[in-house]
Chain A
Amino acid sequence: MNAIWIGVLGTSAIAFALKFTGHSVPEKFLTSPRMLRINTLIPIALLSALVGVQTITEKGRWVIDQRCAGVLVALIALRLKAPYFVVVISAAATSAAIYRFK
């Protein structure tokens, strides 16, 4: 079994186990204010890290290319309260345009 399959099936198994655990243990567990606060912060940290790594690195090196322009346009679209779909499409269109004409 190759790495991608391990990723797909492993992620799926753990994702379900996490969901099912929540439905199976009494509510008083895991709900201290600190735990709840950290829980809302973890996605912010990880998703922001992913934005950075996917935008300005490639194979472990810093690379500035068309992706930066695309993500910058996405940022502007978000500030203008554009729907999610417009955000993603505008980033893709910007990046593709620069890639083709550079």
Chain B
Amino acid sequence: MFRATATQSLSVSFAVGLYGIAFGAAGITAGFSILQTCLLSLLTFSGASQFAVVGVMGAGGSALSGLATASLLGIRNTLYGLRMAPLLQVRGWKKIVAAQITIDESTGVAIGQEDLGPSAMKQGFWFTGIGVYILWNFFTLLGALGAEAMGNPSAWGLDAAVPAAFLGLVWPRLLGKFERTLALTSLLFAVLLSPFLPAGLPIILTALLAVLFGWRARA
């Protein structure tokens, strides 16, 4: 057992788990029930995808556009899985659990332990994945119950909390001018097209901008 790794897993789990409140509230604000909101955290378990499906459908988008946006955001978990599988070497039900907890944070902490060797990396993956899973679900329920008790979402500022939550998710990814240009282009693109296309579609189409930017980039 690596203590420094365990401490890191625990602090990441708490910090991320707390966002669960924001997600729980967002789900209710978008018109999802407490059960539906909690099931998203239990089953989908990928913050950005969850926010996307409630965000898109809450704004009037179809199930298909909500699902497509959430799934595009979930593709990165496939790549995390590719990276983690050779390290974890698990089969059967353990592989199912490992897949479910393959997210930004578990992969991030695991990779962060590279200097300490493969067993520390494994520990980082499992502790962080399971820690975030427990706390994320607990705080989702709290947030959903809280929002349900509050009533009118606008009166409590929940209508601004959801875009602020998205902003907080994208902010750490805006590392340089290139990323910021893509972010601003995507934002303007989606806003400008919103009155002319079915809800959700302008958001999905920005994935093409990402492909276009990524195709040409040299860096």
Contact = CB atoms under 8 A, between A and B. Distances in A.
A91 B130 CA distance: 30
A94 B160 contact: yes
B72 A27 contact: no
Contact of A14 (B67, B162, B188): B67
B156 A85 contact: no
Interface string A1-33: 001111111111011101111111101011100
A51 B75 contact: no
Interface in B61-117: 62-63, 66-67, 69-86, 88, 95-96, 98-100, 102
A43 B36 CA distance: 24
B163 A51 contact: yes
B59 A4 contact: no
- SS class of chain B's interface: helix, strand, loop or mixed? helix
B98 to A, nearest CB: 6
- Among B39, B55, B70, B206, find the residue whose CB has the most chain A CB atoms closer than 10 A: B206
Contacts of A99: 154-155, 157
A27 B83 contact: yes
B39 A12 contact: yes
Contacts of A40: 76, 173, 214
A91 B100 CA distance: 31
A54 B74 contact: no
Interface string A44-77: 1111111111111111111000110111001100
Contacts of B45: 15
Interface size class of A (residues with CB under 8 A): 35 or more
- Among B40, B72, B168, find the residue whose CB has the most chain A CB atoms closer than 10 A: B168
B48 interface: yes
Contact of B163 (A5, A23, A45, A67): A67
B188 to A, nearest CB: 7
Contact of A41 (B157, B164, B182, B188): B182
Contacts of A62: 191, 194-195
A19 to B, nearest CB: 4
Interface of A: 3-12, 14-16, 18-25, 27, 29-31, 34, 36-62, 66-67, 69-71, 74-75, 78, 83-85, 87-97, 99-100
6 contacts: A41-B210, A41-B211, A46-B52, A48-B206, A62-B195, A69-B160
Interface of B: 15, 18-19, 22, 31-33, 36, 39-40, 43-46, 48-53, 55-57, 59-60, 62-63, 66-67, 69-86, 88, 95-96, 98-100, 102, 154-171, 173-174, 179, 182-184, 186-191, 194-195, 199, 202-204, 206-207, 209-211, 213-215, 217
10 closest residue pairs by CB, A with B: A22-B81, A70-B160, A92-B157, A91-B164, A95-B160, A96-B157, A38-B214, A12-B43, A49-B190, A74-B164
